[in-house]
C-alpha cells in the first residue's frame, strides 16, 4: 500500500541554521504531496504542497520539490527561527481523487534554540 517515511527526530538546530527534513514515499500513480505543520497546542496547518513531478511548493521561507525519480519531497528552509519549532508531517494524497484521504508520515519534531 501507499506509505510515507520521514526522518526521525527530534531535530535540534540553532537559530539561522539550514533545515532539511527528509521525506520519501511509496505510491502508485502520481500522488499529490503535502507538508503540514503542528505548533504546540494547535491543529495541523497546511504548509505547502505540490501536485505533480518537479513542482516546487513554497511558503513562509520553506520549500519542497516533488522528485518522482527519487520518490522524495524533502522540506528545506535556509534560516530557521525559534518560531519554527513544531512538528512537521509529510503526507500524500492518492492521485485518483481530489478528496482522497491523506496518508501521513510519523512526524518530525523540530526544536530551534536561540
By the rule CB under 8 A, 62 interacts with another protein: no
> Given the C-alpha cell 492521485, which residue does it identify?
95
The Cα-based distances of 23 to 75, 91, 97, 103, 114 in angstroms read 8, 9, 22, 13, 26
Binding mask of the shown chain, residues 90 to 109, with x at each position contacting another protein by CB under 8 A = -x-x---xxxxxx-xxxx--
Cα–Cα distance for residue pair 113/18, rounded to 1 Å: 13
By the rule CB under 8 A, 44 interacts with another protein: yes
Judged by beta carbon, residue 19 or residue 108, the one nearer another protein is 108
Q: What residue ranges bind another protein (CB under 8 A)?
A: 4, 32, 36, 42-46, 49, 51, 89, 91, 93, 97-102, 104-107
Amino acid at each position: 500500500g501507499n506509505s510515507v517515511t520521514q526522518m526521525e527526530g527530534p531535530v535540534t538546530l540553532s537559530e539561522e541554521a539550514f533545515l532539511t527534513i527528509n521525506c520519501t514515499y511509496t505510491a502508485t500513480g502520481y500522488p499529490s504531496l503535502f507538508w503540514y505543520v503542528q505548533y504546540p497546542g494547535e491543529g495541523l496547518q497546511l504548509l505547502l504542497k505540490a501536485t505533480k513531478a518537479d513542482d516546487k511548493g513554497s511558503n513562509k521561507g520553506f520549500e519542497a520539490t516533488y522528485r518522482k525519480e527519487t520518490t522524495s519531497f524533502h522540506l528545506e528552509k535556509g534560516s530557521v527561527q525559534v518560531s519554527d519549532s513544531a512538528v512537521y508531517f509529510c503526507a500524500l494524497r492518492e492521485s485518483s481523487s481530489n478528496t482522497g484521504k491523506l496518508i501521513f508520515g510519523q512526524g518530525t519534531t523540530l526544536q530551534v534554540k536561540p
